[in-house]
Amino acid sequence: MIYRTVPVSTEFDLNAVCGGDGVLFVQSGIGSAGRNEILRTDSDAIRAVLNEMILSRHAQPTESTLASPIAFGLVPFLPENPSVFLLMGATFTKHSDGSATMTVVSDSEDDLTDESLQTLLASSNDSRPPRPSSNSYRVSPVMPVGRYLDTVTAARDAVRAGLLRKAVIARDIEVHADDPIDTHAVLLRLRALFGSSYRYCINNMIGASPELLVEVAGRTVRSHPLAGTAPRSGDAETDAALAEALIASTKDQLEHRVVIDMVHDTLLPHCSYLDWEAEPSIVTVANVQHLGTAIEGALHDPPAHVFTLVQALCPTPALGGFPSSEAIDFITEHEEMDRNFYGGAVGWMNRDGDGCFAVTIRCAELSNDRRSARLFAGGGIVADSNPYSELAETQAKFQAMLRAITQEN
């Protein structure tokens, strides 16, 4: 395959580029959106394709230093299941330095001329708002509430018995719509509600994750694990009190420590140094607040590929538990729910090994006809967990996607 990357104006809207049938991965206005899927494959195959791409003969000398093609991907919760990566014909990127590029991939040089790229650029930023909708929705649990409470109790008892240090138990609900769900409208609502989160729409998974799994840029590596959750009330004074209680909670601090230790110990062998915040801080999103710890370091030279780190980290104890293999075995046996990509990772990578992946949470799995969406939420279970408190936590976490899907334009 052949590619060409050109600088473009930053005036385009990544949500508009994605529209209702493209892909998106963006945080605080920085990220990428693509249209015209040309390849769907697994992680090994996509890395080979990226490595074999050649620069177009139409490229100007200055274009050779611009961004190389990226692949958008999803990593499943269960490590033995295959990842899915998409290569798009046109990818628009807004970079952290304030610049913007368009990367076009094709089998034909005819698609990479200046004239062809100008035509594509003109047609790819349809910023028309979604049409007004009067869709009707019905919400129902997939996992019975009683079974969820029983599973949480079993996980808590396993921790108390010393079989686990933590297990993350999740449940799912389903939204049914009379008409197809407008993904463009959902993305715009997520931007309004969760602009600082990692918003994504890839292969039927759509959501807004507040949690950075891992990012690699050259030799710099970053992660920002979250674990420990409290609700938000909408009142600043009440929210501040809830945040103080979260920081003081032995149960939540223990849950958070398990995650931080695993992420640190996994990244450290790949790093020449690795630093992290001495104490967790509060990470606030629209409906809940979390304990979070920023981790940053320098990778050895040559640096590890971002996907190597994703595979080593995924799933983290924030979505699986600890010890990892024992927790996953417990979840598989007791949860009786196909998580698919929920609890895995979502993001992008290029052939240089750079990339950014968030944890796949606060999400919905859309049906192919877009008339239903399966939503997921879970919480970390430790010795002091209360099943009914965990149920309330999942209900709070569901609200993000429920509001984004069912709110009228």
Active site residue 166: yes
Q: What pLDDT sits at residue 232?
A: 87
Set 211, 335, 365, 393: catalytic member: 211
Q: Which two tokens stand for residue 179?
A: 């008409």
Question: How high is the pLDDT of residue 235?
Answer: 87
Residue 408 is predicted with a pLDDT of: 67
What single-letter DSSP state applies at residue 408? -
Q: Is 321 within 8 Å of 330 (Cβ atoms)?
A: yes
Q: Report the pLDDT value the prediction gives residue 357, as an integer from 0 to 100.
A: 98
Domains and CATH numbers, the chain: 2-123 (no CATH), 138-193+225-406 (3.60.120.10)
- As a whole number of angstroms, the distance between CA 287 and CA 112 comes to 45
pLDDT in tens, the chain (409 residues): 999 999 999 888 999 999 888 999 999 999 999 999 999 999 999 999 999 999 999 999 888 888 899 999 999 999 999 999 999 999 999 999 999 999 999 999 999 999 999 998 887 765 556 666 678 999 999 999 999 999 999 999 999 999 999 999 999 999 999 999 999 999 999 999 888 899 999 999 999 999 999 999 999 999 999 988 888 888 899 999 999 999 999 988 988 998 899 999 999 999 999 999 989 999 988 778 999 999 999 999 999 999 999 999 999 988 999 999 999 999 999 998 999 999 999 999 999 999 999 999 999 999 999 999 999 999 989 999 999 999 999 998 898 899 999 986 5
Does the annotation mark 211 as catalytic?
yes
Of 94, 166, 215, 393, the active-site residue reads: 166
Answer for the pair 313, 266: CB distance below 8 angstroms, yes or no. yes
**Cβ atoms within 10 Å, residue 19:** 21
Cα gap 212→28, rounded to integer Å: 13
Residue ranges of the alpha helices (H) in 64-144?
Answer: 114-123
The amino acid that residue 269 corresponds to is P
Q: Are 25 and 347 in contact (CB under 8 A)?
A: yes
Q: What is the pLDDT of residue 127?
A: 56
- β-strand pairing of 54-55 with 100-106: unpaired
Q: What is the DSSP string of 13-76?
A: -HHHHHTTTSEEEEETTEEEEEEEEEEEE-HHHHHHHHHH-EE-TT--GGGGGSPPPEEEEEE-
pTM of the model: 0.94
